A and B are shown apart, each in its own frame.
Chain A
């Protein structure tokens, strides 16, 4: 019996191999469970990333040295040619930027905003790829920026052409980036031409994405541009992702088979950009709170009311959002079509039918009362239940009872002054 042989040849020095193996195996399984199910291993991963970073740098040093040598032995002519190319490119980009500025101004005017919004990207940081796994099964890259540079988990990574991926594990000096071509990665996209939203998943082939969830009759054709749709909480809206290569439709298949190519030079990049976005920007990705979904049954959320016709007698005046409910600053982004930039003061009553500036009435109460996820507002800005209760109570009371003396009914002919304080807060 093999077991007996092994035991007899290992006379009692410490625990037997069997006991040791069981201990290590249990430890490994516990580690796997913690890492997979609980996500408690972030700190450990942080440490491991720090510990293995020198090795990864050492491993990639031969290719780095080779690149450096090639770079430093380039001839003057080659550099001059490249310089010319770069100058031409810069001029092109400047021209394009000029046009973009005028477009942004025009867009702001159309939306009734006083000034164009600042770009959604607040700051960015160039990171170098220090290690790449060519393994087609796990195409990940390691970049030389980490938590010490402010990098966080699930941060968007771009290059000059489009989206590259997002960070998955962040160490102190390095971060692992999952590429959009990874079969475990999916990115919410929109077809730029038609606005159809779908999801692009990686295929494991470098340079190929798949759009597996488009119905057979969806309006998509080769050459369509894919941009990020802003859903999903990682990527902002409107950044280029890829280009549709081929659409394959079969009569028996309910879904179209669509292949796309990423625009970013995913396997040729040496440098990528990490981007931080303005949280309050309408195009910014919507982040979950503490990694959790929004709570169900938000007490502040109410369905929108159908706006009454101007002739009808309004039963109630909408309660404007004031005071502690400081969501007015975001109200301007929530309903930009009203043409009334929210200032934190009273909104026009929705039921009046006529806004203070004679604009189209918008069923505003729910918008101003709550910060909907689409505004990019973290629910942390929602007022505490205690602060919110007084503003809500009279509203619900007034809906079922005649107007109280303290809360005079507003008629279409007498809209309230825009800065009237909330009645409920008295």
Chain B
């Protein structure tokens, strides 16, 4: 088992955050995948002992600071997603890419659903159906994301 590429982890997370807040045209903004969630999912599955839950928490905190209505909302949801990914990392890792995409799709739906629930609880209800659109694009982009993220470290 190879060493955990900490630097790569931090770097890609920053890139993902950058892509998340990058200004895009409106139509592109609606289908923008949740890059930060994909990054956290990848590292939680590939290195379950590298602190994926903590990565999820702090990435979520950064998302909250950048665009969240309530501090702690994304932090809670992303650490939950990371926790599930760490629990199930062996099952997910053994699946072919297509099935992984399906799992990622459900993870993204869960992520958005939890945000939806917390939004409603904290008084920022948002029932726009467009908010679910990125789950599809995230699942579609997953194989590409894996390929890119694997380039930064030696094969494990």
Using CB atoms and an 8 Å cutoff, list the residues of chain A in contact with chain B. Answer: 2-3, 5-6, 9-10, 13, 17-18, 20-21, 24-25, 27-32, 35-36, 41, 44-45, 48-49, 51-52, 55-56, 58-60, 62-63, 131-138, 184
* 13 sample A-B contacts, Cβ–Cβ < 8 Å, listed by A number: A2-B88, A6-B48, A9-B90, A17-B48, A31-B75, A32-B72, A35-B72, A36-B70, A55-B17, A134-B23, A134-B29, A136-B26, A137-B126
How many inter-chain residue pairs (CB < 8 Å) link A and B?
A: 116
Given contacts A9-B90, A17-B87, A59-B23, contact A137 B80 (CB under 8 A): no
Q: In the complex, are the beta carbons of B21 and A17 less than 8 A apart?
A: no
Residues of A within 8 A of B29 (CB): 134-135
The residues in B between 101 and 156 inclusive whose CB is less than 8 angstroms from any CB of A are 118, 122-124, 126, 128, 131
Query: What is the chain B residue whose CB lies nearest that of A26?
Result: B76
Give a binary string over B45-76; 1 marks a CB under 8 Å from any A CB, 0 the rest: 00011010110110011101111011111011
Most buried by A among B26, B72, B89: B72
Q: In the complex, are the beta carbons of B65 and A25 less than 8 A apart?
A: no
Separation in Å of the B3 CB from the closest CB of chain A? 14
Q: In the complex, are the beta carbons of A21 and B83 less than 8 A apart?
A: yes
Residues of B within 8 A of A184 (CB): 124
Q: In the complex, are the beta carbons of A138 and B128 less than 8 A apart?
A: no
Query: At the interface, yes or no: B38 with Cβ under 8 Å from chain A?
Result: no
Given contacts A28-B57, A35-B70, contact A134 B88 (CB under 8 A): no
Query: Of the candidates A32, A52, A137, which one forms a contact with B76 in the assembled complex, judged by CB atoms under 8 Å apart?
Result: A32
Query: At the interface, yes or no: B97 with Cβ under 8 Å from chain A?
Result: no
Q: In the complex, are the beta carbons of A6 and B89 less than 8 A apart?
A: yes
The CA of A9 and the CA of B21, in the complex, are separated in Å by 36
Q: In the complex, are the beta carbons of A20 and B53 less than 8 A apart?
A: yes
Q: In the complex, are the beta carbons of B70 and A6 less than 8 A apart?
A: no
A-B complex: 7 closest residue pairs judged by Cβ atoms:
A31-B72, A28-B76, A48-B65, A32-B72, A21-B83, A28-B75, A28-B72
Q: In the complex, are the beta carbons of A24 and B128 less than 8 A apart?
A: no
Query: What is the chain B residue whose CB lies nearest that of A20?
Result: B53
Q: In the complex, are the beta carbons of B71 and A55 less than 8 A apart?
A: no
The CA of A52 and the CA of B58, in the complex, are separated in Å by 13
The CA of A18 and the CA of B131, in the complex, are separated in Å by 30
Residues of B within 8 A of A18 (CB): 83
Q: In the complex, are the beta carbons of A25 and B21 less than 8 A apart?
A: no
Known contacts A48-B71, A59-B18; 18 additional CB pairs below 8 A are: A2-B87, A6-B90, A17-B86, A17-B87, A21-B79, A24-B76, A24-B79, A25-B80, A32-B72, A41-B71, A48-B61, A55-B21, A56-B66, A59-B22, A62-B23, A131-B21, A134-B26, A137-B128
Residues of B within 8 A of A29 (CB): 72, 76
Separation in Å of the B49 CB from the closest CB of chain A? 6
Residues of A within 8 A of B76 (CB): 24-25, 28-29, 32
Separation in Å of the B150 CB from the closest CB of chain A? 21
The CA of A125 and the CA of B146, in the complex, are separated in Å by 48
Separation in Å of the A3 CB from the closest CB of chain B? 7
Given contacts A21-B80, A58-B18, A133-B67, contact A63 B23 (CB under 8 A): yes
Query: At the interface, yes or no: B24 with Cβ under 8 Å from chain A?
Result: yes
Q: In the complex, are the beta carbons of A21 and B53 less than 8 A apart?
A: yes
The CA of A232 and the CA of B53, in the complex, are separated in Å by 43
The CA of A373 and the CA of B73, in the complex, are separated in Å by 38
Query: What is the chain A residue whose CB lies nearest that of B126?
Result: A137
Q: In the complex, are the beta carbons of B57 and A138 less than 8 A apart?
A: no
Query: At the interface, yes or no: B6 with Cβ under 8 Å from chain A?
Result: no
Residues of B within 8 A of A27 (CB): 57, 72, 75
Query: What is the chain A residue whose CB lies nearest that of B131?
Result: A137
Q: In the complex, are the beta carbons of B87 and A55 less than 8 A apart?
A: no
Separation in Å of the A23 CB from the closest CB of chain B? 9
The CA of A36 and the CA of B118, in the complex, are separated in Å by 12
Residues of A within 8 A of B80 (CB): 21, 25
The CA of A299 and the CA of B49, in the complex, are separated in Å by 65
